[in-house]
Amino acid sequence: MTSIPPGEDPKALVEGFNLASLPPAFYDDPFPVYAALQSLSPVHELPGGGLFLTRWDDLRTVYQQPALFSSDKKAAFRPVFGHTLLYQHHTTSLVFNDPPLHTRVRRLVAGALTSRAIAPMEKALHHLLDDLLDRAEAQGAIDAIDDFAAAIPIEIIASLMNIPPDEREPLRGWSLAILSALEPNPSEDMKQTAETAVGDFLAFLKTLIEDRRRHPLDPDTDLLTRLIQGTGIRDGLTEIELLQNCIFILNAGHETTTNLVGNGLHLLLTLPSARDLLLRRPALIKTAVEEVLRFASPNQLGNRVSTADTTLGGQRVFAGTQITLCIGAANRDPAQFENPNDFDITRSPNRHLAFASGPHMCAGQQLARLEGQLALARFFERFPQAELAGEPKRGNRARFRGFSSLPVKLSPD
């Protein structure tokens, strides 16, 4: 199976590619364009400036050299966001920083998200899934995004920070608004909505942090107490860094994990042979989740800026070049993956870049895997004959690949 459909001219796909103005069909299926870029222009100059990389090798090269390819977004974001809270948020988040800020925050966050630290969450996750699936069964048909996939990460991350259950409701809306502003060409409206969301989120966190300072919890299990204790000390965080990184962590695990579960459900609902195999051999859930991460990577695009003149894929790159790393394309690179457009839940090894690579590699990957594996396994255990009950709707975003709606009927009539 090739991802460039017969009759489609790869050269025309490459020439027509403009990240700043994408046609609606692209959101549905960007892979023919990615495959054309990969074979004809792997280090592609974008119409508005900057490079777009699609080869697995080139992405790895960039990820592994953080000094040469910086994550600092201050210069890139100032013209887009101006002097706003949104600018402060994105440019203070660890993911968009180099050392020393990145190192300081990463050290604090990483310890709270190791396999050992998250193991106690497994029981709570089982309860949450049983509860959601009981409710789903009573309904008979559900929107698998709103009623299932999106309901999982919000509860898990909020409980990592011990946010009281009755205060969690606005978190998803804030998170979606803030992340939307990272689309390649955000509208004024998107930016304004995101700005309001950052303001509301900050106000919410200030109250929560004040209260947690008065009543600290165990820093080994409460991420918020851990971050607070790392604030205002030597080599610690400033108050603004504390607040903005709390927002980032709450956001980082939301939509990405929702999309992992939503994309996994969609693939297994629409590819019966993969689902049947998983039902016969449930132990395949681990490789199945890795394959969902590769095949429909929740985070499709990353960014870096070059700090010195260099070369990439044999092409000269000048200092100060904005570089877009296309994870979605690299994860279908035939030079790394055999039959890359086949969804194969037994694939091993599977060296996908869905969580990136190098010092910024996703700090929450073990948690995301745990959520993805348990959610998909429990769903199909309970509803092995579930089927799509209507047209799924995509989120229509280039950076985050997922569905905004996925109607599902849980058993046949």
Task: Verify binding: residue 252, ligand HEM, rule CB under 6 A.
Answer: yes
d(C-alpha 182, C-alpha 198), whole Å:
13
- Confirm or reject binding of residue 257 to ligand HEM (CB under 6 A): yes
Q: How many CA atoms lie within 13 A of 196 on its CB side?
A: 9
User: Does residue 161 sit in helix, strand or coil?
Assistant: coil
**Which amino acid is located at 352 in the chain?**
H
Greatest C-alpha distance within the chain: 66
Report which residue type is found at 396: N
Q: Report the residue from 175, 263, 287, 299 that binds ligand HEM according to the rule CB under 6 A.
A: 299
DSSP 41-87: -SEEEPTTSSEEE--HHHHHHHHT-TTTEE---HHHHHHHH-SSHHH
Query: What's the N-to-C CA distance of the chain in angstroms?
Result: 34
CB of 390 to ligand HEM, least distance (A): 25
Asked if 230 is part of the footprint of ligand HEM (rule: CB under 6 A), the reply reads no
Minimum CB–partner distance for residue 412 and ligand HEM (Å): 30
- 402 contacts ligand HEM (rule: CB under 6 A): no
Determine which residue in the list 145, 194, 363, 375 makes contact with ligand HEM, applying CB under 6 A.
363
The reply to whether 364 sits near ligand HEM by the rule CB under 6 A is yes
Applying CB under 6 A, does 194 fall inside the site for ligand HEM? no
DSSP state of 145: I
Minimum CB–partner distance for residue 220 and ligand HEM (Å): 16
Query: What string marks each residue from 18 to 57 as x (binds ligand HEM by CB under 6 A) or -?
Result: ----------------------------------------
User: Contact 257/152 with Cβ under 8 angstroms?
Assistant: yes
Quick one: which segment of 169-177, 188-196, 251-259, 339-347 binds ligand HEM (CB under 6 A)? 251-259
Residues in the chain: 413
Question: Which DSSP string do the residues of 215-271 spell out, in sequence order?
Answer: S---TTT-HHHHHHHTBSSTT-B-HHHHHHHHHHHHHHTTHHHHHHHHHHHHHHHH-
Interface with ligand HEM (CB under 6 A), residue total 26
- Nearest Cα neighbor of 36 from 7, 13, 52 is 13
Give the C-alpha distances (Å, rounded to integers) separating 397 from 117, 180, 291, 388. Answer: 33, 8, 21, 22
Candidates 143-151, 227-235, 362-370, 390-398 — which segment interacts with ligand HEM by CB under 6 A?
362-370
Could you tell me the smallest distance in angstroms from the CB atom of residue 66 to ligand HEM? 9
Stretch that binds ligand HEM, among 50-58, 118-126, 210-218, 360-368 (CB under 6 A): 360-368
Residue 3 touches ligand HEM, criterion: CB under 6 A: no
User: What CA–CA distance (Å, rounded) separates 374 from 379?
Assistant: 8
360 touches ligand HEM (CB under 6 A): yes
Which one of 128, 142, 157, 370 is in contact with ligand HEM (CB under 6 A)? Answer: 157
The distance of closest approach from Cβ of residue 71 to ligand HEM in the complex, given in angstroms and rounded to an integer, is: 6
Which residue of 362, 377, 386, 408 would you call a contact of ligand HEM, by CB under 6 A?
362
Q: CB under 6 A: which stretch of 76-84, 179-187, 246-254, 400-408 binds ligand HEM?
A: 246-254
In the beta sheet, which residues pair with residue 117? none
Q: Please report, as ranges, the residues that interact with ligand HEM according to CB under 6 A.
A: 71, 94-95, 102, 106, 109, 113, 157, 249, 252-253, 256-257, 260, 298-299, 302, 354-356, 360, 362-364, 367-368
